[in-house]
Amino acid sequence: MKQNDLQALLGEMTLAEKIGQLQQVTGDFYTNDSAEITGPLSNNLLSEDDLKNSGSVLGLSGATDTNAVQKKYLENNRLHIPLLFMADIVHGYRTIFPIPLGLATSWNPELVKETAAVAAKESAVSGLHVTFSPMVDLVRDPRWGRVMESTGEDPLLNCLYAESVVQGYQGPANDLINNADHIAACVKHFAAYGAPEGGREYNTVNMSDRELRENYLPSYQAAINAGSKLVMTSFNTIDGVPATVNTYLNRQILRDEFKFEGVLISDWAAMMEAINHGVAEDHRDVAKQSLKAGVDIEMMTFCYHQFVEELISAKEVDEGLLDEAVLRILELKNDLGLFENPYRSADAVKEAAVVYSAEHQQVALKAAEESIVLLENKNNVLPLATSEKVAFVGPFATSSDILGTWSWKGEISETASVADVLGTDYPTAKVTISPVADVFSVTAEELAAAKAVAKNADKVVVLLGETSQMSGEASSRTSIQLPEAQLAFWDEILSVGKPVIVVSFNGRPLDLSAVSEKVTGLVEAWFPGTKGATALLNILYGKVAPKARLTMSFPRNVGQIPVYYNHFNTGRPINFDDLGNKYVSKYLDVPNTPLYPFGYGLTYTTFGYDHFKVAVEAGAEPVITCQVRVKNTGQTAGTEIVQWYLRDIVGQVVRPMKELKGFDTVELQAGEERVVTHSFTFAELGYVHHDKKRYPDHGEFEVMVGSHSESVLTTRITL
């Protein structure tokens, strides 16, 4: 439909029909089937008649259901304005990919984009139009359960992934009319939801506007610059004002500075929760503040429905604000081609062929293989040989709970466990399996059986972890260790005296201190998704070499939090030449450094760096060209992720000790060496100054290169 046709359509709409477009409800309002419920339920204030005008639905999918609902809806909607179907497709639809925090360790934006494109294809054919993804909240606190949805602590990587995911979902040129196997992205949660005090879910966020702009806003802006059609508000406050009713955030920053012209949708009940926060008196006040703050769609509460008409007639809200919101919603429907074809590519026959296809599962396998991080490999205990006698023991030897949360349509029942894959893919391997049924307890029989098979094995793989429900929304934890029973189990298996490899399935950086020192091999598998078990075994048996690198620091214990690589120096930094000095910024009981740092991950070989040089091409816009020679110093081929960091020695505000400014992925055969070059523009050294603007300063910089944030070569330049 042309823009002026949309304006004409808007002109035909009654006030009730316009207000209806701002309402979103779950699918069970339209069908008897159960829908995905992802928040607290309020009293339903909508009549059957109201539902004829509600603009969108969340948590309902499946071509048969969505087509049936759309058909009936269009028959009852006076102006035949189609319904929008939205849902949380966060790391895959039915083919589930590793959780985003895992996928991020691939340092492979193209692969991440491919997974989003597969998710979009499965979603579109199943009747969905919008996904509530990517979640791009920067996170430095593993106590927060939703860390599993994030891509970690680094602004640059978060921006790269935000862009990749939007491009994957929305397809070429964001042309959703001509690419009906793509869907609209909804970047969330705007803004800074990933920084709640104490890592406690839904808690207060307290940070300066400068810090917000320096580290937390860039990833939302990257998603918007990539064309994200929607933005979702967050539950938290920003500088004392809940994000959802925050005009500074949603009008000045989002609309005026970021030039966002798409739809702003509230998170579930986030509008009404302004009352709990204590900035709105009642639902009427919520409706007034939210419309003024520019929220277009109200998710699963009914304040707009109840009071917008009255607010307009009382002239407390201008009808123009309502028209703005409705027009953005109509434009979104038009961008999806729904006026021409309300069913888009929803097709039950195609759905059966496309969803969970072998081709998609291959993408899931590749994604999982590139997302599993090797943290320890003492004495080269890995890779395993099929001729070795290996015992696989522990709760995740037979558990299929490896999809993680936000895997709504993923089926645990169809997900192969490690034991399943050993049977199908490793028939000749000498393995024994001794499972533990419960993540939180180990019976005496299970322990005895596990120790017995360990005694008869050459090596023991102990498969531990969290249940998928121990991370995700509303799943903050004050202890981030493995469950006690598992730690006791691991100690018992260790006492048998064989080399032990621990594999952990989890949704957050755990405190692995109790394991890391005594273990021989240590593998972080995250929740690796549909093909996770196959990917893990392909890595353990060396069919595939690990290449993943952490995008979030692993703390030594929960007391260290927040611990992250791009920290400030402080006025009293530790001086390693004078460790006796008491009066420095440190703890009495643990080092300041994390257990495993940002950018860290082992491979089955080793790499050496030398011949590091930096040249500056002076001029108005100086260019910094770096080069380093990287050599595969091991016995087998491997992939190195060469990481480039910079430090601005003196700034108008304090600058981090290092910031990732780029990376290069190089595959080298044993003994092979390569000169890797990387150039930076002066603008890439920019940061947010007192005036809230981002630009670089001239002066001295440290340039660093290495295999992770704590292993770098350093040189200085002046710009």
Note the residues at the interface with ligand GLC (CB under 6 A).
Answer: 38-39, 58, 88, 132, 188, 267-268, 473
Query: How many Cβ atoms sit within 10 Å of the Cβ of residue 708?
Result: 19
Given the complex with ligand GLC, which of 232 and 419 has the nearer CB atom?
Answer: 232
CA distances from 642 to 25, 48, 152 (A): 47, 59, 18
Find the shortest distance in angstroms from Cβ 128 to ligand GLC.
13
Please choose, from the candidates 266, 267, 248, the residue with its C-alpha nearest in 3D space to the C-alpha of residue 258.
248
Handedness of CA 438, 442, 445, 451 (dihedral sign): positive
Given the complex with ligand GLC, which of 232 and 326 has the nearer CB atom?
Answer: 232
Q: Which of 267, 285, 347, 697 is catalytic?
A: 267
Judge whether 36 and 26 are in contact, CB under 8 Å. yes
436 — phi, psi (to 5°)? Answer: -125, 125
C-alpha span between 195 and 473 (Å, rounded): 14
C-alpha span between 277 and 297 (Å, rounded): 20
C-alpha span between 358 and 354 (Å, rounded): 9
* DSSP annotation string for 673-699: EEEEEEEEEGGGG-EE-TTS-EE---S
Element (H, E) at 512: none
Find the shortest distance in angstroms from Cβ 149 to ligand GLC.
8
* DSSP annotation string for 74-141: HHH-TT-PPPEEEE--SS-SSSPPPPHHHHGGG--HHHHHHHHHHHHHHHHHTT--EE---B------
Name the maximum alpha-carbon separation found in the chain.
81
The distance from CA 204 to its chain's CA centroid, rounded to whole angstroms, is 21
Judge whether 374 and 382 are in contact, CB under 8 Å. yes
C-alpha span between 507 and 515 (Å, rounded): 17
Given the complex with ligand GLC, which of 268 and 396 has the nearer CB atom?
Answer: 268
Which residue type occupies 708?
Answer: H
What residues are paired with 631 via a beta bridge?
608, 673
Given the complex with ligand GLC, which of 132 and 392 has the nearer CB atom?
Answer: 132
Judge whether 304 and 245 are in contact, CB under 8 Å. no
* Residue found by looking up tokens 């087509």 in the block: 67
Handedness of CA 668, 669, 670, 674 (dihedral sign): negative
State in Å, rounded, how far the first CA of the chain is from the last one.
52
* Residue found by looking up tokens 């064309």 in the block: 227
Find the shortest distance in angstroms from Cβ 133 to ligand GLC.
8
Handedness of CA 553, 555, 558, 561 (dihedral sign): negative
Find the shortest distance in angstroms from Cβ 408 to ligand GLC.
9
How does strand 389-394 pair with strand 130-131? unpaired
Inter-helix orientation angle 303-313/319-335, to 10°: 130
Given the complex with ligand GLC, which of 90 and 382 has the nearer CB atom?
Answer: 90
Given the complex with ligand GLC, which of 24 and 467 has the nearer CB atom?
Answer: 24
* Residue found by looking up tokens 């991950």 in the block: 601
Given the complex with ligand GLC, which of 39 and 597 has the nearer CB atom?
Answer: 39
Give every CB contact of residue 73 below 8 A, 6+ residues apart in sequence: 30, 52, 82, 83
Element (H, E) at 490: helix 484-494
Q: What is the DSSP letter of 559?
A: G
Given the complex with ligand GLC, which of 186 and 457 has the nearer CB atom?
Answer: 186
C-alpha span between 52 and 74 (Å, rounded): 8
Given the complex with ligand GLC, which of 265 and 461 has the nearer CB atom?
Answer: 265
Find the shortest distance in angstroms from Cβ 299 to ligand GLC.
7
Judge whether 60 and 128 are in contact, CB under 8 Å. no
267 catalytic residue (yes or no): yes
CA distances from 109 to 100, 157, 161, 218 (A): 12, 9, 6, 17
Question: Which residues carry out catalysis?
Answer: 267
